[in-house]
Amino acid sequence: MLNGFQTDLSSISSEIQTLQQQSVAMNQRLKNRQAVRGELSQFVDEMVIPDSMITSVSFSAIVDSLHKLSSLNNFEKHLKSGLFKLPLAQHDTLM
């Protein structure tokens, strides 16, 4: 009976170790996902064109629209210059 109990304890111990290893791996994946989510959120926020600019360009006089489109063009240049700061491996995944 004691041998059976010792065998059961041994198998439970190995199961606990396996669960601990899985927990550590899952925790690392969670941290990685949270880090990526934070960076992607920031990237998306920087790429969003404000609704006010879209409405303004759409419903403004032609001269005002040209000025606003020029601002939008500067915004695009700013975004493109930011992409070149990323490591080369990330460029392929973003495009």
Task: Say if pTM beats, i.e. exceeds, 0.85.
Answer: no
DSSP class of residue 34 equals H
Q: Do 7 and 34 have their domain in common?
A: yes
Q: Which segments of the chain does DSSP mark as H helices, in order?
A: 2-47, 51-59, 62-83, 88-94
What is the domain range of residue 4? 1-48
Contacts of 75 (CB under 8 A, 6+ apart): 49
Whether residues 1 and 31 share a domain: the answer is yes
In a 13 Å sphere around the CA of 95, the CA atoms on its Cβ side amount to: 9
Share of residues in the chain with pLDDT > 90 (%):
25
User: Which of 24 and 60 is assigned the larger pLDDT?
Assistant: 24
Count CA within 13 A, CB hemisphere, residue 13.
6
Counted domains in the chain: 2
Boundary residue ending a domain (48, 63, 79): 48
* Predicted local distance difference test score (pLDDT) of residue 51: 80
Has residue 8 got a pLDDT over 50? yes
pLDDT tens-digit series, residues 29-59: 999 999 999 888 888 877 777 787 777 767 7
* In a shared domain, residues 2 and 27: yes
